[in-house]
Chains A and B, each alone.
Chain A
Amino acid sequence: MISFIETILGTVLSSFVIVIISTFMALLVDFLFPSFSKWTRMILIFIVVIVVLQPAFEHLTLIRDIAHSISMMFISIYPILTASMIAAGGAFSMLNFQPAMLLFANGAIVLTERILIPLLTGALIFDLVSRILPAVPFTKMADLIRTTLLGAVSAVVAAYSIFITVGGTMSWALTGLASEPIKELIRQNVPLIGSFMTDSMGTIGRYSSGASVFAGGWLISAIWTVALIPSFKTLLTAFFYRWTAALIEPFANEDITGILDDIGRTLFVLCAVSFLIAFAFIYTALFSIILVKLITSMK
């Protein structure tokens, strides 16, 4: 875990140091050659886009690849899973694992891969365009896309929790008194998606606590870690973008801080989208584990 955070710090922090140094360089060049200042700004945007947006782009492609591979995996194993569920008979009815829920969870991934992530890419490009060419602003468009995406993702997660509570067999301990302060902390300190994060983590947790009777706590926590590492990484990177924007605001061009801030906001939405993927991954993994357990124990 420590080395994992160190890698993120290494790649992301070094590129932000580059932003700060290059801002100083642009300040010096502006002082020496005031007639060149228009181009200095452009070149600074060049440096920012090439060097600093690399982590953001990597995260976007990472989440896109994960969504693609999970949706492919789902399409290939869904018939097998449902067939074996039918073969297993009524043993599933007590577990509240419906095939409809599986279809819904993974349908959300297909939705993510086909619509949500391309839209998010669009928001990123709109932001860049409106910063590079201030005469043609698309900021409202980008904001609209982001809020729409966040709304869609929250709706899907709300639908998850409705699905789960309709069955009613599973309840979760994290909703208890002890975790309320933590939830409140997350809700207030993570911008844009804080309350969404606590809600969706509650939804995921409600499932896995019911399943831990069957799958064992260590296995559950392993699945949780694997599923949530991309989201966590994205969240940390998004925070770095906003911190750097705040740090260089006094002396940098407004465009540069604006770009960093916008990218940070887009990454927060990407983090929310990746929660959707994590949920579907956890659900499918638990489902397969319980299926295998049931089949082996029935012999």
Chain B
Amino acid sequence: MVIDDGLMIILVQSIVVFLILLLISFSVPKLQPLLYAAIFFYFLFHLLNTIVFPFGKYFVALFEPLPEPFAKLLIGSAILFYVSELIAKHISEAGYGSLASMTHFAVKIAILTLWMQQTATLIDLLSKLITK
């Protein structure tokens, strides 16, 4: 499987990244936040590309018998939420807590808009019970 090989490589890479960050903090402590952010985002996108997105596709295919949008929406919004939380944490670690909570809030609204159509169906169904 693709995921198994990729997983091992990613785990090794994460240790290498950790060592590089330690080296940077010794050699150029003033540049450390900037380089940390750059490496963090590079590593995050690498991780998303090699592990998370293939797994997401695999997950959606696994739950194919479910009615169409649900599996896709659930795993999609969960991944979106998790990534947004990760980035927000990173930003607030750098000392910009309010900016972090702002971006997280925006992503939450984006997730809600994804579910808007399903919510409309639900409200329709429930209101059909009440009205004749």
Contact = CB atoms under 8 A, between A and B. Distances in A.
Interface of A: 17-18, 21-22, 25-26, 28-29, 32-33, 35-36, 39-40, 43, 46-47, 49-51, 53-54, 57, 60-61, 121, 124-125, 128
Contact of B85 (A35, A50, A125): A35
A215 B81 CA distance: 69
A132 to B, nearest CB: 10
Contacts of A40: 74, 78
Interface stretch (B6-14, B31-39, B62-70, B93-101): B62-70
17 contacts: A21-B66, A25-B63, A33-B81, A33-B82, A35-B82, A35-B85, A36-B77, A36-B81, A39-B77, A40-B78, A47-B70, A49-B125, A50-B67, A51-B67, A61-B128, A121-B129, A125-B129
A174 to B, nearest CB: 37
Interface residues of B, number: 26
A50 B78 contact: no
Interface of B: 59, 63, 65-67, 70-71, 73-75, 77-79, 81-82, 85, 115, 118-119, 121-122, 125-126, 128-130
From B65, B67, B70, B121, name the one whose CB has the most chain A CB atoms within 10 angstroms: B70
Contacts of B85: 35
A60 B122 contact: no
Given A21-B63, A47-B70, A57 B129 contact: yes
Contact of A50 (B65, B125, B129, B130): B125
Contact of A25 (B71, B118, B121): B71
Identify whether the interface residues of A are mostly helix, strand, loop, or mixed: helix
B75 A29 contact: yes
B125 A121 contact: no
Contacts of B59: 28
A33 B78 contact: yes
A22 B74 CA distance: 10
A235 B71 CA distance: 31
A25 B65 contact: no
Nearest to A64: B132
Given A29-B75, A50-B122, A18 B65 contact: yes
Given A35-B82, A40-B74, A50 B121 contact: yes
Contact of B125 (A21, A32, A57): A57
Contact of B78 (A32, A46, A60, A124): A32
Given A49-B122, A49-B125, A50-B125, A22 B66 contact: yes
Nearest to A17: B65
Nearest to B55: A32
